[in-house]
C-alpha cells in the first residue's frame, strides 16, 4: 500500500491552531436568549434576528437548542444513578422470587 502524501506537518498545524483565538459559540449567549424569551417575550425567530443584527451567527433552530438545553437538569453522579437502579430493582425482585439470580 502506498503511503498517503500529506503536505503539512501535524505538529506545525497544531501549534498554529493553538494560536487561533477562541470562537464564541451560541451557548455563550444562553443568558441573553433566556432573558429575551422569558422576560421580554421574544419569539425564537425574533431572538435569532436580534442576535444576527449584533453580529452573532444564529437561526431560530440553534436558538431553540440553546434555550431548551438550559432546562435540562444536570446529570447525577455515577454512584447515585447506580444506587437508584438498585432501589428500583428491589421491589421487582421481591414480587418475583422465582427470578432470583436470573
pLDDT digit string (tens) for 57-82? 999 999 999 999 866 555 555 555 55
* Rounded-to-integer distance, Cα 42 and Cα 35, Å: 9
CA 2 to CA 31: how far, in whole Å?
52
Instruction: Let me know: does 65 contact 98? Beta carbons within 8 Å.
Output: no
Distance CA 97, CA 102 (A): 10
- pLDDT bracket for residue 102 (50, 70, 90): low
Query: Considering the entire predicted model, what is its pTM?
Result: 0.52
pLDDT of residue 15: 92
pLDDT tens readout for residues 18-60: 988 877 789 999 999 999 999 999 999 999 999 999 999 999 9
Amino acid at each position: 500500500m502506498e503511503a498517503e502524501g500529506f503536505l503539512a506537518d501535524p505538529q506545525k498545524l497544531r501549534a498554529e491552531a493553538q494560536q487561533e483565538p477562541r470562537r464564541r459559540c451560541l451557548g455563550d449567549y444562553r443568558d441573553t436568549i433566556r432573558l429575551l424569551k422569558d422576560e421580554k417575550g421574544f419569539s425564537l425567530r425574533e431572538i435569532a434576528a436580534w442576535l444576527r443584527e449584533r453580529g452573532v451567527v444564529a437561526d431560530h433552530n440553534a436558538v431553540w437548542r440553546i434555550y431548551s438545553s438550559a432546562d435540562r437538569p444536570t446529570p447525577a453522579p455515577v454512584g447515585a444513578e447506580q444506587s437508584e437502579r438498585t432501589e428500583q430493582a428491589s421491589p421487582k425482585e421481591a414480587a418475583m422470587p422465582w427470578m432470583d439470580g436470573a
